[in-house]
Structure 1
Amino acid sequence: MIRSLLAGVLYAFASFVTMSGASAQTPSASVASGGAPLKVQTSWIGNSFGFGDGSWTQINITAIAVTPDGKVYTDSPWDESGAEAGIYKDGKMLGYANGTHGWGNGGGNAVALNHRYAFIAVTVGTERGHLVGKGVWPEKGHQWYGVTRRALAEPQRTAPFQPVANAADPRARLAASFLIVNDVASDTHSEVTGLAANDTMLYVASAATDRVDLYDPESMQRKSSFDVHQPGHLALGADGTLWVLTDILDGKPKLAHYSATGQKLDDTLPLPADSVPVDVAIDAQGRVLIADNGPRQQVLFFTKQGGRYAASGTLGERGGIFSGVAGRPGPQRFNGLTAVGADARGNVYVASNGLGPNFAPAGTSLGAGLGATLESYAPDGKRLWNVEGLLFVDGAWIDPARPNSVYTGNKRFELDLSKPAGQQWTYAGFLSNRFKYPEDPVFHVDQWPGLPIARQLKGRTILYLTDMYSDHLKIYRFDAARDGETAIPSGYIAGRGLRDVNAIPDAPPGGDWMWRDTNGNGRFEADEFARNSSGTRLIGGWGWWVDTAGDIWHTVDAKGIYRFHFGGFDKAGNPVYSYDDMKSYPLPAPFNQVHRAVYDASTDSLYATGYTDDAPYQKPQWKEVGRVLVRYDKWSSGRPDARYTVKLPWDTNAKPLVTIIGVTVEGQYVFAVEPAGIVHVFDKQRGNEVGVIKPGPEVGGASGWVDVANGISAARRSDGEYLVFVEEDARGKVMMYRWKPA
């Protein structure tokens, strides 16, 4: 029945597009050009630093080491702008180690210090065989995991311990300062998972090889090794003994105590049964500190009493960010602990990334998309400072119920626009609760939460998230009385049947299905899935849009435009969508592919972008919206009128590449953003370009690449000012431009 119905719709629409104003008339055409810069204030959300002075907080922290005077050295597998190994003190970013990003280099999950050096776990590869140089890069098909040694006072300066092949070549100097611990096939994970050091010994843990190696920190020659099952982070005591996290790949880490030479000692710590130790440190008093990433979300203190260790205190609210009002951040409300350390004054330092460390062979940590936080606490528990790098591959959308509230992929921020640029945001909510809703696809489906669209439907706020590659759509509901800030998994429209989508429990194979949480428990269950019954596979395509009435619009390249009607709410509070209540539209003239469709319900207008015979698809930028924008009026009438056509900026020979990667409609304007972050503003009534928005001095005049299909949104405030949000891929934030038309 549904197949014949869709066939009739396709036939009817094909008839009217050949006769109606969509093609019979010749709409006005204009070519977008480099318009005059608009007067805007540049601001941002989600990062403690905006890069105006060259500083930013890295997007993930999985290990820290602290000097006696409180300087914190970090490590992580990835930071988009190369700050995998950052240095912080007193709430300021002092710099980063460099040489851990690009040209085959990557970060890691461990860092240690002695009085002379910083030892940082890193990786070195060949960029799929493109990098060749004996002693500088591995052989083709191989990957090196090891330790880079840096001067403690100046970590960007390498500290070679072997001959430098070419002193003028910075890569050769990196190689001369790099200790190869594991040389393995490029598809094998054999990371350095723990480091500890003093002036006479460097300890290097490798979970994949079940060993801890001992090196001379000056010559970097291996002295000995001892066996430990899956060793992770290490802590070296003043007495020379070594605390070792073990079993870290099995998902149930433990703690063991060893002598300086590797004999296992018979003492241990009385860890709670449900604890998940992810890091260990020793403070100036000799106490052992454990970062517990289990349900407690606390730092646990243990003191030696009568020859044995006993629990002697905690830091952090029990339950962390999920206690009390779930998802509300604040001092001592930890979220995904990864590392702990202490200085000589008794101050404690805690790093978190929204999830915790992930040493499993599956790949890099999801924490790179959930946000990094580094905090310092005085001995009395008062927070001294914190820095945050909370966003990556993320956009922002104004909360439709609260004009000073902003949603991102899995966070909420509050705005105070009376403050200076960069100080206008406050982190207000973490939306993902892995303890209550462990099957939330944020944690399983893709490496980043997704790009938000928030709508208020019948008095309820619903959050929709597209992913980086526009493969699927996640839907969330809220219940503040029961779940605080948590976004509850509510619905899902799946695209391709790839690894990520197939990771969803009980999902039908092959993708192209829909799920709704009919019993309201936030889990995926077999009887809650519906396969696509339309007869047309609806996978692929780049365009997702949710209009103010709650209808979902999806473009599938040359196949057409699809509209899922909002069918109200079910008894669990989920918005209802179905394949039986979906409308299909063929490509409107003049398009041969449509990549975006933005519907304005207030005027019954559709803004479509894509390619035509005169402006065909080419391959250089696969996420682009297309080369042409057309506004169609009276879209729902069955005979839409093409009001105007705009040829969008497009120059594949330019550096950086000029094309449009995201488009949105708000108020009186159409906003379109280039991959390099330049925003073109068009009058939505006539299609003429009003001007462009570029990043200002507040962010160093720089924007990272817009690397997603829905990386721009806008909101018109009651006083006529527009807030324009743009994904900023480089430095852990979202751009926020404030523009008030004259």
Structure 2
Amino acid sequence: MRPLFRVALIAAMTSSCLGAHAAAERLLPVTTSWIGNTFGFGDGNWTQIDITAIAVAPDGKVYTDAPWDEAGAEASVYQNGKRLDIAGDTHGWGNHGGNAIAINRRYAFLAVQVGNEKGRLVGEGLWPAKGQQWFGISRRAIGNLKPSVPFQSMAIQAHSRAAASFLTVNEVSVGTPAEIGGLAASETTLYASNTSHDEIDVFDAETMKPKTQWPVHEPGRIALARDGTLWVLADTLTGQAPRAEHYSIEGHRLEDALPLPPDSVAVDITVDKDNRILIADNGPRQQILIFSDANGHGRYALTATLGQRGGIFGGKASEIGHPRPGRFNGLTGVGTDAAGNVYVATNGIGPRLLGTGAGLGAVLQSYAPNGDLRWEVDGLLFVDGACIDPGRPDSVFTGNKRFELDWSKPPGQEWKYVGFLSNRFKYPQDPVFNLDGWPGMPVARRLAGHTFLYLTDMYADHLKIYRFNETRDGETAIPSGLIAGHYRPVDKIPNRPPNGNWIWRDANGNGQFDADEFESDTTAVKIVGGLGWWVDTNGDIWRTSDTSGILRLHFGGLDRAGNPIYSFANATVSPMPEPFSHVRRAIYMPQTDSLYVTGYTNDAGRQPGVSKEVGRVLVRYDAWSSGTPVKRYAITLPWDSSNRPLHLLASLTVEGRYIFAAEVTGTVHVYDNATGAELGVIEPGPEVGHASGWVDVTNGINAHLRKNGEYIVFVEEDARGKVLMYRWRPQ
């Protein structure tokens, strides 16, 4: 997702180039909407996709930091439910965000990273040498985060201002962890947790020159108390729970102690106006723990909490996964303002992202002193698609969330977030947490009276399968099956066979990968080496191989635990259909016994430097199951690999009377299902700033025909934390 400068360029190119290819094509009349983000980008705003650290000003402005936001909002400012500002120079040209932020009256101090894009960026003092990476601190002005504030001299050249405003704390080999784990600032002094060096580094806030340092084991977040002393979270990297330690301004350890619960996982700390200490606990409690020292003698006690115990996973079994105020999910930050309001950041997993890439959805909330929710902003989706729940036509699944839609509301307001599907406490082996960087593109099917969710990954290597049990697990998607391609992407799966190309099914129903639940391929069937996955409405799974034809895993009913049964023994392989030399996608429609195949032919072949695309030709075959399929039509698909941005298709789907196919830039081509004729294109409207991010996955589009004749088309929009939703009534 992060090739050299791609996002910054695509953001500009997409908005300016959308419509260029459609100028000669009919633009279909659609209503543009979206799900998953508070802001749609119609006014230029969006909520970032991850928040791993916050700092709160006395007036209630919230300053954020995170390692990555696809459109460059790693460090942003929010207040009263609105986004006010974005920092520059945290994205592209080797720049990345970080996991810590602090403010004083003049400056915001951001933990950031600087790389060299595998040695392609060269400049002494501007970027590290090839093979090296910098972790440090960037300084910005309060009131305008976009430009950085230099504190050292540097020759005037491109990017020198950002470099002159960056303090290198650690220079390490690429891949070596050396992040700044926490920051705190007074008007004169900046404190930084040099976590990997087991020390607190102290700098002059104006000159950024070192003042002193003192040892703390694996320090993390820092809170500056009103008396100038510092509270520091220690032991933040080891397996044991972090501790809160108290230090004098000179770095002497004080005797105060916080009686943290034994199961707590403290990830952030702050001190409010009443000198209470607030801890963001990302353990099973999922709460803000509030400690008070009633007598002022350092004898702190847990006197209050904010949020429901268990967070989003608390309450009755049927309530698990339901997001509501106070039901926190993956705490990353806590802060307070001068009025006593509390601000809480979550991302669905916590500051340690594990295998979730950019977290599992950013939520920033403000609570009044009495605990009532004041405001909230959401950036819930990244590299995500959407599909209608076949059992509930007003319900939508994404990779690990569920939304309900009110079709009567205006664009961007139809959606309501109602379910978080990944329960890391009950099902810690869920592949969402250890298989790839994002949950995956959803396909929901109703089989044998039950709903199942199938997820394809970004690179189409494997297929994840989930079942549901609402009375026992609420909204949780229970790991049910996994069909693995190549070995490397699944190397963290417990008890896996020594190579890829296997099937796992949760035979005992415990949601864990037990050793006796795997089936390795001992036949000529091969799952590896393709891009296309499709699950038809009968439950059969279709898998394309670039050069070996089309694999079909037949649905074998449900086992005793309620899992769909798939086996290599119940599979068929169809040879490469004429006229293809490479097959990229195969979509089967049981109602008409039709197979839609895309790929390359000898006359329209592959070209180097392009990946994840559908190919250059689409053919519809009827009577596919007869053994003598009939070619109904062939379509020459859009293809210009020399154009920038690329002019070719990334994903397609079939629904009702139409074929919907998305270009990598987001333009959707609509074809008549009966004849193959192109009818026009769909493009993002003013509701989303006429802009789309890169469609960078193989299954990035889905469609649904409502009973009233309206088509709903969902398209991945990874740039700004949402999924595009088009509403179209054919004329």
Q: How far apart are the structure 1 equivalents of 2:62 and 2:382?
A: 22
User: Following TM superposition, by how much is the alpha carbon of 1:34 offset from its aligned partner in structure 2, in angstroms?
Assistant: 5.2
- Check conservation: 1:369, 1:391, Cα contact below 8 A: no
Specify every segment of 5 or more residues in structure 1 that has no aligned partner in the other structure, as ranges. 1-30
Q: Measure, in 2, the Cα distance between the counterparts of 1:578 and 1:694.
A: 41
| TM-aligned CA distance change 1:633 to 1:369, over 3 Å | farther
> SS at the partner of 2:569?
helix
Is it true that 1:459 corresponds to 2:453 in the alignment?
Answer: no
- Partner residue of 2:237? 249
507, 518, 522: which one aligns with 2:511: 522
What is the alpha-carbon distance in structure 2 between the residues aligned to residue 380 and residue 707 of structure 1?
44
Of 277, 288, 313 in structure 2, the residue corresponding to residue 299 of structure 1 is 288
- Does residue 311 in structure 1 map to residue 305 in structure 2? no
Q: Secondary structure at the match of 1:145?
A: strand
Equivalent pair of 1:357/1:365 in contact (CA under 8 Å):
no
Equivalent position of 1:320 in the other structure: 311
- 1:414–1:698 Cα change, 3 Å: same
Q: Name 2:432's counterpart in structure 1.
A: 442
1:172 correspondence with 2:163: no
Give 1:183 deviation, angstroms.
1.1
* 3-state secondary structure, aligned to 2:358: helix
Distance 1:80 1:515 in 2: 33
Q: Contact 2:355–2:433 at 8 Å: present in 1 too?
A: no
Amino acid at match of 2:349: L
Q: Which residue in the other structure is 1:636 paired with?
A: 625
What residue number does 1:606 align with?
Answer: 595
**1:368 is paired with a residue of what secondary structure?**
coil
SS at match of 1:98: coil
Q: Give the whole-Å Cα distance in 1 for the aligned partners of 2:608 and 2:662.
A: 19
Selected match of 1:332 from 318, 326, 337: 326
SS of aligned partner of 2:301: strand
* 1:596 alignment partner, one of 585, 601, 604: 585
**Aligned position for 2:17:** none
- Between the aligned partners of 2:635 and 2:573, the Cα distance in structure 1 is 25
Structure 1 letter corresponding to 2:99: N
3-state SS, counterpart of residue 190 of structure 1:
coil
- Residue in 1 that maps onto 2:274: 285
- CA separation in 1, counterparts of 2:705 and 2:543? 25
1:248, distance to aligned residue in structure 2 (A):
1.2
Counterpart of 2:222 (choices 210, 234, 240) is 234
**Corresponding residue for residue 339 of structure 2:** 345
| Cα gap change, 1:369 to 1:258, in 2 (>3 Å) | closer
Aligned to 1:412: 402
Q: List structure 1 runs of 4+ shifted beyond 6 angstroms.
A: none
Residues 12-161 of structure 1: pairs in structure 2 closer than 5 A:
35-161=25-151
1:45-83 residue CA offsets vs partner (Å, 9 max, x unmatched):
000000001100000000000000000000000000110
Please tell me whether the aligned partners of residues 75 and 110 of structure 1 are also in contact (alpha carbons under 8 angstroms).
yes
Out of 484, 488, 498, the position equivalent to 2:474 is 484
Q: Distance in 2 between matches of 1:108 and 1:32?
A: 39
Q: Hey, what does 1:657 align to over in structure 2?
A: 646
CA shift for structure 1 position 101: 0.4
Give the secondary structure class of the aligned counterpart of 2:471.
Answer: helix
Q: Is the 8 A contact 2:525 2:568 kept in 1?
A: no
Choose which of 673, 678, 681 in structure 1 pairs with 2:670.
Answer: 681
Partners of 1:556 and 1:459 lie apart in 2 by: 31
Cα deviation code 1:16-57 (max 9, x no counterpart) = xxxxxxxxxxxxxxx999530000000000000000011000
1:353 and 1:367 in contact (8 A); partners too: no
State the TM-score, normalized to the length of structure 1. 0.94
Q: 1:267 Cα deviation (Å)?
A: 1.2
The residue that corresponds to 1:508 in the other structure is: 497
Alpha-carbon separation, structure 1, partners of 2:344 and 2:357: 15
Which whole-Å deviations, capped at 9, do the CAs of 1:416-446 have from their partners, x for residues lacking one?
1111101110001000000000100000101
- What SS does the corresponding residue of 1:175 show, helix, strand or coil? helix
Structure 2 SS opposite 1:219: coil
User: Is the contact between residue 64 and residue 74 of structure 2 (CA under 8 Å) also seen in structure 1?
Assistant: yes
Contact 2:663 2:695 in 1 (8 A): yes
Task: Count the aligned residue pairs.
Answer: 705
CA distance in 1, matches of 2:614, 2:236: 44
CA shift for structure 1 position 535: 2.4
Q: Which residue of 2 aligns with 1:258?
A: 247
Amino acid at match of 1:172: S
**What is the rounded CA distance, in whole Å, between the counterparts of 1:642 and 1:32 in structure 2?**
29
Q: TM-score, normalised by structure 2?
A: 0.95
Equivalent position of 2:200 in the other structure: 212
Aligned to 1:702: 691
Q: 2 CA distance for matches of 1:192 and 1:417?
A: 46
Distance 1:281 1:543 in 2: 49
The aligned residue for residue 11 of structure 1 is: none
Tell me if the contact between 1:561 and 1:587 (Cα under 8 Å) persists in the aligned partners: yes
Deviation at 1:369, TM superposition (A): 4.2
| Percent of aligned positions that are identical | 62
| CA–CA distance in structure 1, aligned partners of residues 695 and 85 of structure 2 | 25
Partner amino acid for 2:56?
A: V
Distance 1:519 1:53 in 2: 51
Cα distance, 1:604 vs structure 2: 0.2
Contact 1:57 1:388 in 2 (8 A): yes
CA contact 2:638–2:647 (8 Å) conserved in 1: yes
Q: What is the deviation of 1:367? A: 5.9
Deviations 1:340-364, CA, capped at 9 Å, x for gaps: 00000000000000000118xxxx7
Q: Distance in 2 between matches of 1:195 and 1:426?
A: 35
TM-fit CA distance, 1:540: 2.0
Quote the Cα distance in structure 1 between the aligned partners of 2:352 and 2:360. 13
SS at match of 1:636: helix
Report the CA distance between 1:700 and its aligned residue.
Answer: 0.3
Correspondence for 2:723 among 734, 737, 741: 734
Higher relative contact order (CA 8 A, sep 6+): 1
2:534 corresponds in structure 1 to 545
Contact (CA 8 Å) 1:627, 1:647: kept in 2 or not? yes
Q: Structure 2: how far apart are the matches of 1:331 and 1:367?
A: 25
Q: Distance between the aligned counterparts of 2:532 and 2:300, measured in 1? A: 58
Counterpart AA for 1:398: I
Task: From the superposition, tell whether residues 734 and 32 of structure 1 become closer, same or farther in structure 2 (CA, over 3 Å).
Answer: closer
Which residue type is aligned with residue 275 of structure 2? G
Give the match for residue 6 of structure 2.
none
- CA–CA distance in structure 1, aligned partners of residues 23 and 537 of structure 2: 30
SS where residue 180 of structure 2 aligns?
coil
Partners of 1:575 and 1:321 in 2: CA distance: 28
| Structure 2 CA distance for aligned equivalents of residues 613 and 704 of structure 1 | 32
Mark the CA change 1:587 to 1:599 in structure 2 (over 3 Å): closer, same or farther: same
1:722 counterpart = 2:676: no
Q: Shift of the alpha carbon at 1:187?
A: 2.5
Q: Give the conservation status (yes or no) of the 8 Å contact 1:104–1:125.
A: yes
CA contact (8 A) 2:355 2:436 kept: no
CA distance in structure 2 between the aligned counterparts of 1:560 and 1:349, rounded to whole angstroms: 54
Q: CA deviation at 1:537?
A: 3.1
Distance 2:562 2:380 in 1: 29
Query: What is the aligned partner in structure 2 of residue 188 from structure 1?
Result: 176
Structure 1 position 136, deviation (Å)? 1.1
How far did 1:157 drift? 2.2
Aligned residue in 2 for 1:22:
none
CA RMSD across the alignment: 1.3
SS in 2 for 1:95: strand
CA distance in 1, matches of 2:23, 2:599: 18
User: Partner letter of residue 231 of structure 1?
Assistant: P
- Bigger drift between 508-517 and 527-536 goes to 527-536
Three-state SS of the structure 2 residue aligned to 1:580 is helix
Q: 2:88–2:148: 8 Å Cα contact kept in structure 1?
A: no
Q: Pick from 663, 681, 691 the counterpart of residue 692 of structure 1.
A: 681
Q: 1:407 to 1:449 in 2, by over 3 A?
A: same
**Distance between the aligned counterparts of 1:337 and 1:700, measured in 2?**
31
Deviation for aligned residue 1:618: 1.0
